[in-house]
Each structure stands twice: as structure tokens, then as C-alpha cells.
């Protein structure tokens, strides 16, 4: 069974701080995705990383896929209250099955 | 372009009842996946439909069943509801079952009393 772990589970920071959240697995995935989910809404895809060691930047968000394609990190620079939400990572298996982690709930205080 | 829509938004049922949830996929998408998201957890894959056929199933019992219609909209049916079925049910559509880009609807919040 493929499982994804995310840490930390909860994170509360002040506006302007930097943060990193992690997504780890013992399984290899063909790609890994990060989503943000806000209350009352479905997850929204932020990025897909495919190649081991790949780094992608989306404005203040930096995503990295581990060399072995088992783990990933999301770094946010100068967090803003609009970044508040549940951050989910999802591993995409070779059969195109999606395995989601439990999420990191981020709260950015003004 | 219309996004993924789901109905109803909220639903309250009692144990043992049956429920049907509906999903309209994004225009042009022929694949729909259903997920269950319990409080404080990530979405868990229930099953996927591609061109009206079930194309994969997660670790859910047979009382969870589905349908996909010719217009690619979909239904999730749950029989003999249990308290643990209380969750947010999400559907996601994509263009083809091999696509890794799926778009989620807002979900249906089901409460089982």
C-alpha cells in the first residue's frame, strides 16, 4: 500500500515569515502533485513535479521533488494571509492512481 | 468553460439509509474520479469512471457504487450508510484516465446520524 506522510500537521506563522512543509513516502511515484484546499472547496492543483531532483517555482512558492522520487517539499517565502489553507501532496502512481497525504494546515496571521 | 459542479452541497442522512451524490464534469472531460475526505484527512480514492466504465477502485466496500452517463456526468451511490461514511465527497474530472491533471469540484458534505 502506498502511503504519504506530511509534516508538520499544523503550522501557524506570522505574515512575512518563511516556511517549508514536507511530503514523504517509502514508495516511488511517477510524479507528485501539490494542492491547496480552502474551507468549503475542493483541492486546487498548484504544481506537478515529474523528474527526480526537479525544482519548480510559482511566485513565492518553491517545490522540489526528491532525487529518488519518494519525497517532496514546498517552501513559501514571505508568507501572506492569502496563503492560508490545507496543503495536500498527492503521489501519482504508474497506473495513474492518486494517493493523497493527510495535509498540512497552514495559518498565516496578519 | 464550466468547472466541475456537485450536488447537493450538504446532506444529512441516518444510519442504514441510501444516498446518491451527483457530479458534472468540466466541459470536454471524459474521466471522473470520486474521493472521500474525512475530517482532518486527505482525500481517499473511491473509484474512477472513464467513458462510462469503472476504470479503477480504491479500498472501499461494494456498497459504494457509481455510474457515469453518456454526457460524462457521474453519480456516487452509497447504500446502508454507516456513521463513518460522514465525510466530504469530492469528484474530480480529467481529460482521459492517463491524465495527471484533475480538477476538483467543491464537494458534498454528507453527515450520517
In sequence order, what DSSP letters do the residues of chain A get, joined into one string?
A: ----EEE-SEEEEETT--EEEEEE-SS--SEEEEEEE-TTS--EEEEEE-STT-EEEETTEEEEE-TTSSEEEEEESS--GGG-EEEEEEEE-TTS-EEE---EEEEEE-
Q: Which residues of A touch B106 (CB under 8 A)?
A: 40-42
pLDDT the model gives residue A29: 87
pLDDT 10s digits, A58-105: 999 999 999 998 899 999 999 999 999 999 999 987 766 789 999 999
pLDDT tens-digit map of B72-108:
999 999 999 999 999 999 999 998 777 778 899 999 9
- Write the pLDDT tens digit of every residue in B85-95: 999 999 999 98
pLDDT tens per residue, range A9-59: 999 999 999 999 999 998 888 889 999 999 889 999 999 999 899 999 999
Tell me how far apart the alpha carbons of residues B38 and B44 are, in angstroms, rounded to a whole number: 8
Q: Does B39 touch chain A (CB under 8 A)?
A: no
CB contact (8 A) between residue B107 and residue A92: no
Within its chain, how far is the Cα of A63 from the centroid?
8
Contact flag B100-A103 (C-beta cutoff 8 Å):
no
Say whether A42 and B104 touch across the interface (CB within 8 A).
yes
Average pLDDT, chain B: 93
Is the pLDDT at B62 greater than 90? The verdict is: yes
Judge residue A13's burial from the number of C-beta atoms within 10 Å of its C-beta, 0-12 exposed, 13-18 middle, 19 or more buried: middle
Work out the average pLDDT over B7-24. 97
The rounded distance, in Å, linking the Cα atoms of A4 and A24 is 6
Reply yes or no on whether the pLDDT at B46 is more than 70: yes
Strand A5-7 and strand A19-24: the pairing is antiparallel
Q: Which pLDDT belongs to residue B28?
A: 87
**pLDDT score of B56 more than 90:** no
Residue B10, pLDDT score? 96
Q: Where does chain B show beta strands of DSSP type E?
A: 5-7, 10-13, 19-24, 31-37, 44-50, 53-57, 64-68, 74-78, 87-94, 103-104, 108-112
User: Cα separation of B107 and B87, whole Å?
Assistant: 10
The pLDDT value recorded for residue B1 is 59
Amino acid at each position: 500500500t502506498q502511503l504519504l506522510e506530511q509534516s508538520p500537521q499544523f503550522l501557524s506563522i506570522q505574515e512575512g515569515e518563511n516556511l517549508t512543509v514536507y511530503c514523504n513516502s517509502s514508495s516511488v511515484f511517477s510524479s507528485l502533485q501539490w494542492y491547496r484546499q480552502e474551507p468549503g472547496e475542493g483541492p486546487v492543483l498548484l504544481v506537478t513535479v515529474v523528474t527526480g531532483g526537479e525544482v519548480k517555482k510559482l511566485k513565492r512558492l518553491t517545490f522540489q521533488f526528491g532525487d529518488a522520487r519518494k519525497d517532496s517539499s514546498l517552501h513559501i517565502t514571505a508568507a501572506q494571509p492569502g496563503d492560508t489553507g490545507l496543503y495536500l501532496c498527492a503521489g501519482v502512481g504508474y497506473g495513474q492512481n492518486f494517493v493523497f497525504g493527510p495535509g498540512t494546515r497552514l495559518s498565516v496571521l496578519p | 468553460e464550466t468547472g466541475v459542479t456537485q450536488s447537493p452541497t450538504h446532506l444529512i442522512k441516518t444510519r442504514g439509509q441510501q444516498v446518491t451524490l451527483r457530479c458534472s464534469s468540466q466541459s470536454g472531460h471524459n474521466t471522473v474520479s470520486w474521493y472521500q475526505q474525512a475530517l482532518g484527512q486527505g482525500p481517499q480514492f473511491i473509484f474512477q469512471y472513464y467513458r462510462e466504465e469503472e476504470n479503477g477502485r480504491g479500498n472501499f466496500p461494494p456498497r459504494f457504487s457509481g455510474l457515469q452517463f453518456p454526457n460524462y456526468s457521474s453519480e456516487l451511490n452509497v447504500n446502508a450508510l454507516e456513521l463513518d461514511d460522514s465525510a466530504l465527497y469530492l469528484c474530480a474530472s480529467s481529460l482521459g484516465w492517463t491524465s495527471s491533471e484533475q480538477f476538483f469540484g467543491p464537494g458534498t458534505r454528507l453527515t450520517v446520524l
